[in-house]
Amino acid sequence: MLSYLIRRLLLMIVTLFGVSIAIFLLLRIVPGNIADILFDSAGLIDPAEKKKIIADLGLDLPLPMQYWQWLNGLLHGDLGFSYVSEKPVIDEILPRIPITARLAGLAMTFAIAAGVPLGVISAVRQNSKLDYALRVLSLSGLSMPAFWLGLLILMACVRWFGTIPIYDRAPETFGAWLAMLAIPAAAVGFRSSALIMRLTRSSMLEVLRQDFVRTAKSKGLSDTAVTYDHALRNALLPVITTIGVETAFLLGGLIVTETVFNIPGVARFLVEAIRWRDYPMVQNLVMFIAVVVVTVNLIVDLLYMLVDPRIRYSE
């Protein structure tokens, strides 16, 4: 167990190192830097001034040098300054994290709370009308991009309520907070819930056909006990893995959803930062997201061990 944990942590570091190189290079491949954009948008034409800005920001240094500066700072907890706001990156990111975290948490909760039970119902009532309806619904969930669904929801809100949920930085009650985030969370979680539902369904169908389910029935257990105590626990194993993978997709979906619903979270901020070629901002935000995704996957794997004794004991 401990050796497994250490191995996984080492692997995490290697992964993050790879991510840091990838994001650093990708950003440099994108044409233009902050100086180009400033000059284009402001209509400045003094090449000496542009050169000065580039030198000030260290953008004239060779790439390995720039990379080293960033990484060295990162390792010492210094994330640098934003090119645009000129504030420390950490002060820009930190207040936005809880907003995105809550939205993502709510979306994932929604996805699991809807996906797993619906998947079970669909499997237990295989080929019934309900099953067909749920399958069509989930297929639409998989095919609809979150931002488009978000736009549809916004249009529906305007049509029927004459208003859209407005982001409020400090909602007064938990209810108000939930009402404000529920719609964007549902929009972004719909895809995940559809995926989880389909996976739970197929996994349940497979497990329900297995011998030990028949054994459980032959013991005289009720249908509920057979379905939930015996079948569902076994069926959830692949679903747990998917939840880990889905978290990464979810963060991707959030970028657009936060923009559509005008929520000042990390994800929308990232899009802004990329537009301005705000290198320190983008690099550190992506690193942060990578850390979250890798950690969630580690937690998922540990959870897997907790649920499945076959893995626990083979370690």
Partner 1 sequence: MAPVLEVSGLSTVFHTRRGLVRAVQDVSFSVNAGETLAIVGESGCGKTITALSLMQLIPRPPGEIVSGSVKVDGTDLLKLSEPEMRKMRGGKIAMIFQEPMTALNPLMTVGKQITEMVMLHDKLPKSAARTRAVEMLHHVRIPEPERRAKEYPHQMSGGMRQRAMIAMALACKPKVLVADEPTTALDVTIQAQILDLIGDLQREFGTAVVLITHDLGVVAETANRVVVMYAGRKVEEASVTDLFANPLHPYPRGLLGSIPRVGSARGLDVSPDERLREISGMVPALNDLPPGCAFAPRCSQADARCHAQVPPFEMKQNDHFAACWQA
**Which residues lie near partner 1 (CB under 8 A)?**
210-212, 214-222, 225, 229-230, 233-234, 307-310, 313
Closest CA to 80 of 97, 95, 67: 67
Shorter beta-carbon distance to partner 1: residue 138 or 203: 203
Nearest approach, Cβ of residue 310 and partner 1 (Å): 5
Shorter beta-carbon distance to partner 1: residue 214 or 275: 214
Shorter beta-carbon distance to partner 1: residue 15 or 210: 210
Alpha helices (H) in 76-96, listed in sequence order: 89-93
Shorter beta-carbon distance to partner 1: residue 78 or 308: 308
Nearest approach, Cβ of residue 205 and partner 1 (Å): 13
Cβ 253 vs Cβ 191: under 8 Å: yes
| Residue 170: count of CB within 10 angstroms of its CB | 6
Shorter beta-carbon distance to partner 1: residue 163 or 218: 218
Collapse the DSSP code of 244 into the 3-class scheme (helix H, G, I; strand E, B; otherwise coil) and give the result: helix
- Take residue 301 and report the two structure tokens written for it: 């794997």
Distance CA 119, CA 193 (A): 10
Shorter beta-carbon distance to partner 1: residue 51 or 219: 219
Nearest approach, Cβ of residue 4 and partner 1 (Å): 18
Nearest approach, Cβ of residue 104 and partner 1 (Å): 29
Distance CA 109, CA 281 (A): 29
Nearest approach, Cβ of residue 223 and partner 1 (Å): 9
Distance CA 276, CA 37 (A): 7
- Take residue 210 and report the two structure tokens written for it: 């297995």
209 Cβ contact partners less than 8 Å away, ≥ 6 residues apart: none
Nearest approach, Cβ of residue 200 and partner 1 (Å): 16
Shorter beta-carbon distance to partner 1: residue 63 or 307: 307
Nearest approach, Cβ of residue 245 and partner 1 (Å): 22
Nearest approach, Cβ of residue 231 and partner 1 (Å): 9
Distance CA 78, CA 218 (A): 63
User: What are the φ and ψ backbone dihedral angles of 263, each rounded to 5 degrees?
Assistant: -105, 125
Shorter beta-carbon distance to partner 1: residue 139 or 307: 307
Residue 262 CA from chain centroid, whole number: 18
Q: What angle, rounded to 10 degrees, do the helices at 97-124 and 266-275 form?
A: 120
Collapse the DSSP code of 81 into the 3-class scheme (helix H, G, I; strand E, B; otherwise coil) and give the result: strand
Closest CA to 254 of 275, 239, 269, 274: 269
